[in-house]
Structure 1
Amino acid sequence: MRLPPLVPQPTQLHPLPGRFTFDDTTALKIAPGAEGAARLLRTLLGPATGLPLPERSDGTVVLALDPALTGLGDEGYGLTIGAEGVLMRAARPQGLLAGIQTLRQLLPVQALHDMPEPGVTWSVPCAQITDTPRFPWRGAMLDVARHFRPVSFLHRYVDLLALHKLNVLHLHLTDDQGWRMPVPAHPRLTEIGGHPHGGAYTRGELTALIRHAAERGVTVVPEIEMPGHVRAALAAYPALGNRPDRTLDVWDRWGVCDTVLGVHDEVLDFCRDVLDEVMDVFPSQYVHVGGEECPTTEWHASPAARRRAAEEGLDGPEALHGWFMERIGGHLLAAGRRPLGWTETGADLPPYFTVMPWLDTAHGRTAARRGHRVVMAPHRTTYLDYPQSARSDEPPGQPGAVVDLRAVHGTDPAPADWSATETAQVLGAQAQLWTEYVPTAAHAEYLTFPRLCALAEVAWTGRGDWNGFLARLRHHRTRLDALGVPRRLPPPPSPPQERKPDE
């Protein structure tokens, strides 16, 4: 019996003869601790199938949680499908959630629809699957600062990540062009900084998103940029800058803005206020504090910044970046969280930071040798704002490169020539969707898929066989079609033609 191709490819998969059919009589047998997986299964299958899937002691679909199971880790699962029943086992609830997504892919593609699909036989081929992820961090970063996306889109994005067994949504919440995170002690951040390109989230919306994601095995990791990429914050509170007498607008251009936070005590107090609110809303172990692309021109020109550098015994204003990140990172550590930041060299953040190398893979190796935990994010293979082809009808994107499907599939978070010690520092990989050139939700999904499918495969299974991945992706594309993910974008509308005066 041939199985529908799965993305990402399971670690071990053995087809068996026969099929199991879900129908109105199918019931679930739910072990203690497996209730969340049962709710997810009903939530995902209910709209298209209409099946109630009640709980019964003699249910033929068994969801079993056994902490004594060895070899499956936190997210692995075993799935046995026979003609008379289904057994899904895991050592942790996260494993069952991953197994639910596999079962979902094995069903007819109509199971992914959000409307009733009468007349479909909801059967799955019999198989034995044992599946464990290669890396614990399998992420996607979504920039909602440059172009705001409503929380309904974030819920949908989480659903798409979970289908591919991606387990981190990294939300880039602040930048020069917008501030989307509410901070009650500093309301102008969203009143002023949230205006361009959209709006801002409420605390209730973020809390509901975090809950929705957790129910699907996805952690939402917040990012608050500092000490650079802060023009929106400085527009709201000029006293946080290096020239408090200056009035600034939220930046309406792309690129790197040279206005950065000052280094006086009030700024550090502000950052602690913001991060305390972030930690109160987001339970994520990791909190991202940016750290990249921080011009030091203003610090060199500021008597207060030069004085701070001298008082701290630093070599000069350039060293204030590391000093600043040390204080911010220490605040997060003291609160029991792990600070996370972008690294531009592999050696520019305090050693206890978890880092995301984005300029070059070699910087990941440098960071690993320093003892950093590393999430690989090299721009030439994981930045989805680059065009995915050189076709003339490709929509505009970040200039300078093309990152096609094969480039993403070819990324390797822990290259073979790294030592075992270096490889052990790699948590996983993450794709990035910066949104300077992404004005709509459809555009965001078009740029994300199918390239994110390749990243999911790399992070869960490993790079594997390119041709085999392409063959499986052809069928998987029908799943994305069923979910309404666009294959192409329509051309932008032509500008209206002006009438000539004599017409």
Structure 2
Amino acid sequence: MTPMLIPRPHRMITRPGHFTLDSKTAIRAGQGTELAVELLREQIAGTVGLPPKITRDGTIALSLDPRLIGMGEEGYSLTVSPQAIVLRAARNAGLLHGIQSLRQLMMTAAGRRIPCVDISDRPRFAWRGAMIDVARHFMPVSFLRRFVDLLALHKLNVLHLHLTDDQGWRMPVRRYPALTEIGAWRPESMIGPAGSTKFDGTPHGGAYTRRELLDLVRYASERGVTIVPEIEMPGHAMAALAAYPELGNFPDREVGVWTGWGVSEAIFGVQEATLDFCREVLSEVMEIFPSPWIHIGGDECPTVEWERSPVARQRIATEGLAGPSELRGWFLGQISRFLVRHGRQPVCWDDGDHSGSLPAEAMVMAWRDAEHGLAAAQRGHQVVMTPWRSTYLDYPQSAQGEPPGQPGGIVTLEDVYRQEVRPSTWDAELSSAAVGTQGQLWTEFAAVAEAVEYLAFPRLCALAENAWSGQWPDFAERLAQHESRLKELGVNYRPSLRYDRT
């Protein structure tokens, strides 16, 4: 049977024969390949029971070859013959992706027999991600590690963690312990969509420790996945305001961690002390997360409180702004420039960029539609395409309305695949600004890890295919075979044959 990989390699030729894995299989490790070798040993151990030894004449050879740089930072070459397996790449990232292709071949293999292939592969886009909202519903680290493994299997290289929101603060901050002591917990959660009057009466919360996050970052890095942290500001801040009311527009007002869904009018104030708080929090974020990118949210920020705040009115006058509507851009610009000074690239949602106040270095996630991505590209920003109609995986997967899923829309497998990451109407220069795409898993309606997996798969398989190869031919056939791998891994996935709008 022809091996069917997801995402489809750029070039793959199948050949007669197979390579047999057994307890005598050994690895020949080239200089600088130690990280990749350890991952491969772990994968092979899962097949034959023991990790293979490292020897000078091993039949599985890994090497870094600078001459392959023409395949890019993440490209690789994999040859499987009856006598040997040879994996080469210019960079470690390529080796790690090659190992995932080999992993899929091993999972396809009957009796440890890996089919002979010749693969030359590289990604279509640099940013291939998935976001998990751990603020609305806390997810254990054990699940995040498992999710990292699943991302790596599909050559998705970014895990975006939405760590804070109105409903919970999950990021430990030494200087502000109440953020997790108070802000991580809410007394109950809304049942149904925003505006509902029903609540479950069940407390919910949780927070990560520094050690847990540091270990998660290391674990992900060893698999070629970068963890991008998100700290929401200036809106979506009720959990922080519950812990430190003085950060808001009305310091004497006490608010609780929000129990509802939707968009709250309670937002950060624009006083210098609040900006200092944000900088101090992000300083600790940068201690834990070495990611080049730090996400600062910026979306859905009502100005009702700023319109009533004397401090906000003074800030508008001092900065020469036209009115409260320009405060969000000013706020995000201040924080973005702080991150740039510290060698990081700020990231925000597209509605945080509407005033053009962000530095050119900022990256924009276009969640509303391609037109907002185009506007960001025209202002000189890199863009990650995240349109809700094709990447918001919290929406149901069919009109059958099966749980879990946010009401109000349907995002099918084909919707995810057919997304134009670089719309055909964009010229070449603007198209180059679109660096990739990402699937979003908001968790208002996905309270447990099993629900997140069900929403994610196999739609993340389609997103991976789009972002890596962009080839639809035989995808359905390959996915049918790939689902046996998901089943083998115990993934709570939705069978793809059930995708429809009726």
With the length of structure 2 as denominator, give the TM-score of the two structures.
0.93
**Residue type of the partner of 1:358?**
W
Report if the CA contact (8 A) 1:172-1:224 is conserved. yes
**What residue in structure 1 maps to residue 389 of structure 2?**
380
Report if the CA contact (8 A) 1:63-1:88 is conserved. yes
Computed over aligned residues only, the root mean square deviation of the Cα atoms, in angstroms, reads 1.4
**1:414 pairs with 2:422:** yes
**What residue in structure 2 maps to residue 454 of structure 1?**
462
Moved more, 205-214 or 337-346: 337-346
Tell me, in whole angstroms, the C-alpha distance in 2 between the residues paired with 1:30 and 1:306: 64
Return the offset for 1:216: 0.2
**1:279 pairs with 2:291:** no
* 1:19-44 C-alpha deviation (Å, 9 max, x unpaired): 11111111111001111111001112
Tell me, in whole angstroms, the C-alpha distance in 1 between the residues paired with 2:147 and 2:209: 18
**What residue in structure 1 maps to residue 177 of structure 2?**
187
Return the offset for 1:399: 1.9
Return the offset for 1:488: 5.1
* 1:166-188 C-alpha deviation (Å, 9 max, x unpaired): 00000000000000000000000
2:492 aligned counterpart, secondary structure: coil
1:70 aligned counterpart, secondary structure: helix
**What residue in structure 2 maps to residue 498 of structure 1?**
none
1:4-403 maps to which residues of 2 (within 5 A)? 4-109=3-108, 121-196=111-186, 197-344=204-351, 347-349=354-356, 350=358, 351-392=360-401, 394-403=402-411
**1:476 pairs with 2:475:** no
Report if the CA contact (8 A) 1:144-1:171 is conserved. yes
* 1:193-226 C-alpha deviation (Å, 9 max, x unpaired): 1123320000000000000000000000000000
Return the offset for 1:361: 1.1
Report if the CA contact (8 A) 1:346-1:364 is conserved. no
**Residue type of the partner of 2:320?**
G
Return the offset for 1:109: 4.4
* 1:322-365 C-alpha deviation (Å, 9 max, x unpaired): 11011000100000000000013864451331000101111111
1:68 aligned counterpart, secondary structure: helix
Tell me, in whole angstroms, the C-alpha distance in 2 between the residues paired with 1:84 and 1:216: 27
> Where does structure 2 lack aligned partners over 5 or more consecutive residues?
187-203, 496-502
Report if the CA contact (8 A) 1:140-1:430 is conserved. yes
Tell me, in whole angstroms, the C-alpha distance in 2 between the residues paired with 1:45 and 1:59: 14
2:450 aligned counterpart, secondary structure: helix
Q: Pick closer, same or farther for the CA change 1:122–1:40 going to 2, 3 Å.
A: same
Tell me, in whole angstroms, the C-alpha distance in 2 between the residues paired with 1:22 and 1:46: 10
Paired-residue identity, %? 56
Return the offset for 1:419: 0.9
Return the offset for 1:71: 2.0
* 1:33-59 C-alpha deviation (Å, 9 max, x unpaired): 111111001112313421331111111
Return the offset for 1:134: 0.3
Tell me, in whole angstroms, the C-alpha distance in 1 between the residues paired with 2:477 and 2:345: 40
Tell me, in whole angstroms, the C-alpha distance in 2 between the residues paired with 1:87 and 1:48: 19
**Residue type of the partner of 1:371?**
G
2:77 aligned counterpart, secondary structure: strand
Any runs of at least 4 consecutive aligned residues in structure 1 with deviations exceeding 4 A, and if so which?
none
Q: Pick closer, same or farther for the CA change 1:374–1:103 going to 2, 3 Å.
A: same
Report if the CA contact (8 A) 1:223-1:289 is conserved. yes
**What residue in structure 2 maps to residue 493 of structure 1?**
none
Tell me, in whole angstroms, the C-alpha distance in 2 between the residues paired with 1:229 and 1:138: 25
Tell me, in whole angstroms, the C-alpha distance in 1 between the residues paired with 2:301 and 2:162: 16
**What residue in structure 2 maps to residue 499 of structure 1?**
none
Tell me, in whole angstroms, the C-alpha distance in 1 between the residues paired with 2:444 and 2:85: 46
With the length of structure 1 as denominator, give the TM-score of the two structures.
0.93
Return the offset for 1:121: 2.1
> Where does structure 1 lack aligned partners over 5 or more consecutive residues?
111-119, 490-503
Tell me, in whole angstroms, the C-alpha distance in 2 between the residues paired with 1:209 and 1:243: 37
2:80 aligned counterpart, secondary structure: strand
Tell me, in whole angstroms, the C-alpha distance in 2 between the residues paired with 1:377 and 1:470: 23
**Residue type of the partner of 1:443?**
A
Report if the CA contact (8 A) 2:44-2:51 is conserved. no
Tell me, in whole angstroms, the C-alpha distance in 1 between the residues paired with 2:471 and 2:308: 48
Q: Pick closer, same or farther for the CA change 1:245–1:108 going to 2, 3 Å.
A: closer
* 1:48-88 C-alpha deviation (Å, 9 max, x unpaired): 42133111111111001112223211110000111100110
**1:434 pairs with 2:442:** yes
Tell me, in whole angstroms, the C-alpha distance in 2 between the residues paired with 1:24 and 1:396: 43
Report if the CA contact (8 A) 1:23-1:51 is conserved. no
Tell me, in whole angstroms, the C-alpha distance in 1 between the residues paired with 2:324 and 2:380: 26
Report if the CA contact (8 A) 1:141-1:169 is conserved. yes
Moved more, 39-48 or 376-385: 39-48
Tell me, in whole angstroms, the C-alpha distance in 2 between the residues paired with 1:208 and 1:396: 30
**Residue type of the partner of 2:487?**
D
Return the offset for 1:108: 3.5
Tell me, in whole angstroms, the C-alpha distance in 1 between the residues paired with 2:494 and 2:342: 45
Report if the CA contact (8 A) 2:456-2:493 is conserved. no
2:374 aligned counterpart, secondary structure: helix
Tell me, in whole angstroms, the C-alpha distance in 1 between the residues paired with 2:438 and 2:494: 24
Tell me, in whole angstroms, the C-alpha distance in 1 between the residues paired with 2:232 and 2:88: 41
Tell me, in whole angstroms, the C-alpha distance in 1 between the residues paired with 2:472 and 2:407: 30
Report if the CA contact (8 A) 1:149-1:198 is conserved. no
2:411 aligned counterpart, secondary structure: coil
Moved more, 91-100 or 71-80: 71-80
Q: Pick closer, same or farther for the CA change 1:109–1:482 going to 2, 3 Å.
A: farther
